Amino acid sequence: MSTRRLALVVTTAPERGDLARALALARAARAADIEVGMFIMDQAVAGLPAARAHTAALAALDCDLVACASSAHARGLGEADVGMLLGSQDDHAALVHAADRVVAFT
Amino acid sequence: MKRIAVIVRATHPDRVSEALRAAVGLSLRGDRVHVVLAAAARAACDEEPHRARAARALATLRMLGHDVIDGDSSAEADAVRTADAIEVWT
Q: Does B3 touch chain A (CB under 8 A)?
A: no
Q: What is the chain A residue with the closest CA to B87?
A: A104
ipTM field: 0.93
Task: Please state, in angstroms and rounded to a whole number, the distance separating the CA atoms of residues B23 and B11.
Answer: 16
Structure pTM? 0.95
Task: Please state, in angstroms and rounded to a whole number, the distance separating the CA atoms of residues A71 and A104.
Answer: 17
Q: What is the chain A residue with the closest CA to B24?
A: A89
Q: Answer yes or no: are the C-beta atoms of A105 and A8 closer than 8 Å.
A: yes
Encode pLDDT of B11-68 as tens digits. 999 999 999 999 999 999 999 999 999 999 999 998 888 899 999 999 999 999 999 9
Which residue among B18, B29, B90 sits closest to A93, beta carbon to beta carbon? B29
**In whole angstroms, how far apart are CA B64 and each of A64, B57, B67?**
29, 11, 9
